[in-house]
Amino acid sequence: MLSKKVSGSTVGMWLLVPGLLKLGAWDILKAWTGKTDMDIEPRIALQLVNESALCVNRIRKKNSLGHQGFQLVNGMSRLVSDEQVHHLLDSHTIQDTQNMMINLGIQRKLSGHFQGELIAIDPHRIVSSSQRIMAKKKKEPKKPSQKMLQTFFSLSAKTGQPIMATVSSTGIPTTKASLNLISATEQIIKTPSLLMADKEHFTSELLENISNNSNMDLLTPALNTQKVKNIIKSLKYTSISAGCAIAETDFYFSRKKIKYRLIAERFGEKEYSYKGFLTTSSKDAKTLLCDNYDERWSVEEFFRFENDMNLNRASTMNLNIRYGNLAMAMLAQAATYELRKNLTGVYKKWNAKHLANEVLAWNDGDVRVKNDTIIVTFYGTSEYIKKEEYINLPDKLMQNGIDPYIPWLYNYKLDFRFK
């Protein structure tokens, strides 16, 4: 197909290639599949990555992107079938995929995607349409229990970028799943950090494991039990701002000997409301609550912006397949994060769906080969792309120490034209 000029509307997908090269995505996919540059399996995985970036589902069945150039960016002349994808994902265990995610996290750390020492951890539960008999769980306290896939994420609170993600069935307790997530996260972030959690993580088992077996500290809201209420109402508070005061004391779980810090906030002038937090950190209380914990909400922003990137569906409860799909989505999200650096102004703040529609899909252009270089031409593009970052791309890649020859495209180079 590359021997002829291809006209299509998905030329924006080629903008992801520099980011994939920077992240070493091809080597990550080859290591996961155990295959070589010339095999199809890494290219099938790359198609899944690019599908996630486009925020589309089951495009192979619809064949909606056929003959539009999408297959070429994956190094193939066609779209692969659902059956091929199923066999590839099902042939790899959860441990295989977790190792891949750790490799991706290490590459993202080297690329500067994670900054600071604050890490937000949070469960992200996806309602499943599976027909299997399985435990059910409430996604929200006031809603009925449902079948779900549990995913657990750790994010760099400063940049809002995901460090690690794990999956489990509905019945696995939050504490057990969180310990698995934290252990994997520590293989990526090896410097002492503060884990910021929600009330689900207020368990003696989790806090004890963090205290004894981790180089990280934990800060989590305390459950509003009668014991906690009695303690925080009896404390002597110090005002830190109008209507806000802070206090702390020692705290022990029932029949446990490990001592933790219970920090409480009091709000109001005459009628008070309270919030309690438990922590293993030695930082001062004001820093922990007023400066650090507010950063945790970056995890909610991540889900709001990136959910359409196949993070919000779970049609099957085959965990090998679901974790494989999640890993490909995480790789796609990493590549789009690199792309966002080359967008101008407010376009950097588009959510995943908006970015896919406006930049990656539905742009007129063509793809052709000249000597050893694939030339991608955009027609009538908007002002959102920093064109200077893509013109003479091979030279720019070499200046950054990146090999411009693209292995999944049979060692062609890539360049762009804008008309």
Q: Is the pLDDT of residue 221 over 90?
A: yes
| Percent of the chain scoring above 70 in pLDDT | 96
| Chain centre distance of CA 226 | 37
Beta-bridge mates of residue 267: 244, 273
Question: What would the mean pLDDT of 291-312 be, rounded to a whole number?
Answer: 90
Read off the pLDDT band of 314 (50, 70, 90): low
Overall pTM surpassing 0.75 (yes/no):
yes
How far apart are alpha carbons 330 and 333 in whole angstroms?
5
Give CB contacts under 8 A, 24+ apart, made by 63-68: 65/10, 67/8, 68/8, 68/9, 68/10
Q: What is the pLDDT of residues 325-355, one digit of tens each?
A: 999 999 999 999 999 999 987 788 899 999 9
Read off the pLDDT band of 265 (50, 70, 90): very high
Q: Which of residues 248 and 69 earns the better pLDDT score?
A: 248
**Tell me, what's the pLDDT at 61?**
45
E-strand spans in 242-333?
Answer: 244-251, 260-267, 273-279
Run of H or E including 164? strand 161-169
* DSSP class of 160: T
On whether the CB atoms of residues 348 and 338 are closer than 8 A, the answer is no
* DSSP class of 66: T
Run of H or E including 338? helix 319-340
How far apart are alpha carbons 405 and 206 in whole angstroms?
47
Q: Which of 105, 90, 85, 95 is nearest to 41 (CA)?
A: 85
Read off the pLDDT band of 17 (50, 70, 90): very high
Q: Is the pLDDT of residue 63 over 60?
A: no
**Tell me, what's the pLDDT at 134?**
74
Q: Which of 72-81, 142-151, 152-161 has the lowest mean pLDDT?
A: 142-151
Beta-bridge mates of residue 194: 118, 217
Q: What is the pLDDT of residues 161-200, one digit of tens each?
A: 999 999 988 878 899 999 999 999 999 999 999 999 999 9
Mean pLDDT score of the chain:
90
Q: Is the pLDDT of residue 36 over 60?
A: yes
Question: Residues spanned by CATH 3.90.350.10 within the chain?
Answer: 96-306
How far apart are alpha carbons 332 and 55 in whole angstroms?
10
Which residue type, as a one-letter code, is found at position 59? I
What superfamily in CATH does domain 96-306 come from? Transposase Inhibitor Protein From Tn5; Chain A, domain 1 (3.90.350.10)
